[in-house]
Structure 1
């Protein structure tokens, strides 16, 4: 990491911002008949537990988010730069949720965006990233819970509002192919400019399905037609079943000690397999205008995936109507971790497909979002134009919104 960079002469677009869901995010609009089958919040007088389909879930061990971790406090841990002799647990610092209304309130968050010099942020889930896995054995409850969540999200944050500051991504579950199309139509009708799909096999009543199964084509076709990209954000993808084969617990826990082998085995397999399923099962061949983005999954999966796609195309040339590696480069945008090799990624997929994401206000993200530029190579490797693409323009290109100029805070002379 280099020194903190100079202030950018433009406002950035951060594709990885998060809210902390209130405890009624899934229950506020959930129909009564699903209240025991969907998400419940139970209080035993000491703490609040999340219960999915009658089972306590540990994806987020503290679903009240109070106390809450400080943004960026785990930076040294994720960079692998903890000083010798320092206990990694000592890096964890927490605040009272009441001291940070911006985590759950849109108006308070606007003021933070101004201070952080962010033009627009993609607003993505925290707690909700674990719900589909927890409900995967009940497809009806999954679809009802996702719809209830999307109603809450539009009510509290808005899928898209005229000022353009927040682009909130509703969740689309593909578990029920028919209801998935209905949900897509619903969120598009409410103005959604982005949707979030779990990077995982699709649960089914009989067996799981690939994201590339043609049964899901109506969803991909509608999103492609609308020009609305799909975000695959780090989630509980059910991949803890893999380290469980090696003696692991099989349970995804957001925090706390766990067998290091779990992460060595699992790591970025879910996003690798997700993009592989989209390419190998011909989603982009059938829907050539569909755009997808990988957010908070890192970037190192792409090198292994490219190697394997090349091998697959060589071994089964009859299967591919188009070069699978070129499909990856044409359809996939990637927000790398700040500690990733951004120059290597640019050389591999092109600088036009790299996005800036801070993961704010999560503890593993950046305390000050635009310090991401300190991890971008400097001239001559990256020009100022390249840096601007990563920090702003590529995200607007992904949204199909390159000519947008929102009121008051969008040009190079802005001094917010």
Structure 2
């Protein structure tokens, strides 16, 4: 029997007068997928095992290596890899030497400590997104019932430990998997009872069993999109294991498994790159999701922004060649439905000129090593913007995306 946590504590009187970060993370507790897992899936979902002094996870009976250490203790120092991701490593410095770790900070797993941290970082609130969970759906993709049961178990844990809308400062994004549309709709119904503000969906083809998959825009999933639109729940497509290593990178002889920070294959990094989010947004447009659901809002978070210009170029060309495949200009569709959180090292001005400064989101990726050491330092990348645009990017755009009133 599933235990329902006590409903999140919240306050409706928050004034969002400081930055709101759309890309903050927690580090899951080791039982995040097991605490509330239906016992029928004990050997098919995520399992916690001990090998000597080491804690490891299995998913579908296979070692889950999406994170190097599922206890997150020690864990990489926030912002430690800043120079690496900016491409500014001094000559003669080994990139691997930038990897620094520290003991697990309570703010990474305790919501009340995190509230204090948000105050110290001079922000009004954050969207919290998964770390470990971003690799689980790919690991379980061949067992759809286990996937759906694991999503429900995880979301129950998330609500208990973090809350979906804790004190209106911490807005957590529960997972949603589309592989079983009926179960996905049932999951949305459960979430709607718990004050949910958004959902996280993996940017990837939807597993369809027997090694096959479908587009996110397939009509089989239309009732899910309709439910989200009707419920005014936006979608966050966050960087995840989208399975592209097993399909695209593998085809080029690169490793088929995505193991962050443990092994890095330069060829896989290039051929996979930001392809998953590019293809995800293309599928939503070309398969008519936005045309059928004109009020649906989606955001791309921690996928960078270089892909947007390339996608727009390709869509405009395709619209010229097959105009019957488009309900309107693809640029208009993107500007109406899509918010984008660029990497801090991206050309943010170019993105704003393309999609509008009201569709650009501030995201720090804190406390991940590849993110910013101090979240609000993102403002330093906005020198090409006036004060009004800076305020929109740092604060009000994410509130518009969430459908939340700023308070002033």
Answering whether residue 126 of structure 2 is matched by residue 112 of structure 1, we say no
Cross-structure match for 1:85: 92
Which residue, 387, 391, 395 being the options, matches 1:392?
A: 395
Q: CA deviation at 1:220?
A: 1.0
Deviations 1:151-184 (CA, angstroms, capped at 9, x unpaired): 00000100113x2101100000001011011011
Check if 1:180 corresponds to 2:184: yes
SS at match of 1:231: strand
Q: What residue number does 1:330 align with?
A: 336
Q: 2:215 aligns with which of 193, 210, 213?
A: 210
Equivalent residue in structure 1 for 2:253, among 201, 224, 247 = 247
Q: CA deviation at 1:312?
A: 1.1
> 2:55 aligned with 1:48, yes or no?
yes
Distance 1:177 1:343 in 2: 39
Quick one: which of 214, 233, 236 aligns to 2:241?
Answer: 236
Displacement of 1:10 in angstroms is 4.5
1:137 to 111, 136, 142: 142
For the Cα contact (< 8 Å) 2:36–2:157, is it kept in 1? Answer: yes
Please name the residue that 1:27 is paired with: 34
Task: Tell me the equivalent position of 2:72.
Answer: 65
Structure 1's 10 and 401: CA in aligned 2 closer, same or farther, altered over 3 A? closer
Kept in 2, the 8 Å contact 1:49–1:61? The answer is: no
In 2, the alpha carbon distance for the partners of 1:288 and 1:10 equals 30
- Whether the aligned pair in 1 keeps the contact of 2:68 and 2:262 (CA below 8 Å) is no
Determine if contact 2:46/2:57 at 8 Å carries over to the other structure.
Answer: yes
- Contact residue 120 and residue 166 of structure 1 kept, 8 A: yes
After superposing on structure 2, the runs of 4+ consecutive aligned residues of structure 1 that deviate more than 4 Å are: none
Partner of 2:284: 278
CA drift of 1:221 comes to: 1.0
| Aligned equivalent of 1:287 | 293
Deviates more, 1:338-347 or 1:197-206: 197-206
Cα deviation per residue 1:268-313 (whole Å; 9 max; x = unaligned)? 0000000000000000000000000000000001011001101111
**Correspondence 1:193 to 2:197:** yes
Which secondary structure state, in structure 1, belongs to the residue aligned with residue 303 of structure 2? coil
CA RMSD of aligned residues (A): 1.2
Q: Name which of 116, 128, 146 aligns with 1:123.
A: 128
Secondary structure of the structure 1 residue equivalent to 2:34: coil
Matches of 1:238 and 1:190, distance apart in 2: 31
Of residues 225, 229, 253, the one that matches 1:224 is 229
Residue equivalent to 2:405: 402
* TM norm structure 2: 0.94
Of 357, 366, 377, 1:360 maps to 366
Cα distance in 2 for residues equivalent to 1:166 and 1:219: 25
Give 1:256 deviation, angstroms. Answer: 2.6
Check if 1:15 corresponds to 2:22.
yes
Please, which runs of 5 or more residues in structure 1 have no aligned partner?
1-8, 406-410, 412-416
Partner SS, residue 254 of structure 1? coil
> What is the SS of the residue equivalent to 1:203?
strand
How many residues matched? 391
